[in-house]
Amino acid sequence: MTTASSGTRRHPTAVAPGERGAVRIADRVVAKIAAQAAREVLGPLPKDAVAPHATVAVHHGTARVRVHLELDYPSDIGARCAAVRRHVVERVGALVDMEVREVAVYVERLHPAQTQGRT
């Protein structure tokens, strides 16, 4: 006896994780995450400063990041750049599960602190 389909759908059998395919995250998405991570570390920007931006090259699941930023001066430039590097590695790793092999920080401009009493 043959029965007609009752409109119910069969659930596909479970597919092994290695056979499901892959997710590719665009370089520009990783770059936006890296730039946001730099903003999180730097805090408020100096007056007239441009927000940090990043470029990223992803190859075989690892990223190389270049972050361009502007800092206030005087400040400990080396320590602030090191903090940006650490935070970019941490945030990109946590949010997209990608190893960051290199973070190059380019300080594009220094903004001198405004001294009181000067015109």
Give yes or no for a contact between 66 and 57, defined as CB atoms under 8 angstroms apart: no
**Tokens encoding 90:** 């941490």
Other beta carbons within 10 angstroms of residue 33's beta carbon come to 22
pTM > 0.95: no
> What's the rounded Cα separation, in Å, for the pair 101 and 65?
8
Q: Across residues 18-47, what is the average pLDDT?
A: 89
Q: What is the pLDDT of residues 68-99, one digit of tens each?
A: 999 999 999 999 999 999 999 999 999 999 99
> What's the rounded Cα separation, in Å, for the pair 52 and 35?
6
